[in-house]
Chains A and B, each alone.
Chain A
Amino acid sequence: AQSVTQLGSHVSVSEGALVLLRCNYSSSVPPYLFWYVQYPNQGLQLLLKYTTGATLVKGINGFEAEFKKSETSFHLTKPSAHMSDAAEYFCAVNSNLVYNQGGKLIFGQGTELSVKP
């Protein structure tokens, strides 16, 4: 069975500081990994994803994440936080057991990011 654990339900950083949001997954097969962001009173938007290939993936708004198989991790980083980054962030995993047959996307509990001026 697949699962996702996000360490820290709330993270607070100062504007300009490094953002690090942690995500660990469990999967019996090579996973597809995603980070989504949810701004207040909105739906979810995709930030970035890892499927195959390069393990360091870049997304929108300056975010990036690195897939580390040995650590079963997919942590999200941004070098310099901006006030507009304040939102809730969700890590998600899809263990697609049958190629091109969809599969279910399982989300972590979410991490709320606050950015202090």
Chain B
Amino acid sequence: NAGVTQTPKFQVLKTGQSMTLQCAQDMNHNSMYWYRQDPGMGLRLIYYSASEGTTDKGEVPNGYNVSRLNKREFSLRLESAAPSQTSVYFCASSQGTGREKLFFGSGTQLSVL
């Protein structure tokens, strides 16, 4: 079982460039999430999608956009990358009741120069 698949695993961007992080899950989960992880800051929620067709802002949405393309896929877009967006990004999914665990992807290490 693939679980949650994120691409790419590594990316280096120059300031101002754009890119899209892709995430797909094969567990028929309703909810999907994007987090960023920075040293000393833990994981901070960027955006989440409680169900197909809905998206909501998390704690740190500025500079990002998301698309819930279908039930399986949830992409994160950086329109104009900034050095402050250098981070490790994790996609996650869950059934969506709020009581169950999240399944995490392996992460994308992004550096913005």
Q: Which residues of A contact B (CB under 8 A)?
A: 6, 9, 32, 34, 42-44, 46, 49, 51, 90, 94, 96, 99-110
Answer yes or no: B56 CB below 8 A from chain A CBs. Answer: yes
CB–CB A51/B43 < 8 A: no
CB–CB B40/A109 < 8 A: yes
B interface secondary structure, majority: loop
Q: Per-residue CB proximity of B67-94 to A under 8 Å, as 1/0?
A: 0000000000000000000000010001
Q: Which of B23-65 contact A (CB under 8 A)?
A: 30-31, 33, 35, 40-45, 48, 50-51, 56, 58-59
Q: For A6, give the chain B residue with the smallest CB separation.
A: B42
CB–CB B50/A102 < 8 A: yes
CB–CB B58/A104 < 8 A: yes
CB–CB A49/B90 < 8 A: no
CB–CB B35/A100 < 8 A: no
A109 cross-chain contacts in B, Cβ below 8 A: 40-42
CB–CB A106/B59 < 8 A: yes
B14 cross-chain contacts in A, Cβ below 8 A: none
CA distance A94 to B59 in the complex (A): 13
Question: Nearest-CB distance from B32 to chain A (Å)?
Answer: 10
Answer yes or no: B106 CB below 8 A from chain A CBs. Answer: yes
CB–CB B101/A43 < 8 A: no
Cross-chain contact of B98 among A6, A46, A90, A94 (Cβ < 8 A): A94
B107 cross-chain contacts in A, Cβ below 8 A: 43
Question: Nearest-CB distance from B29 to chain A (Å)?
Answer: 10
CA distance A108 to B90 in the complex (A): 15
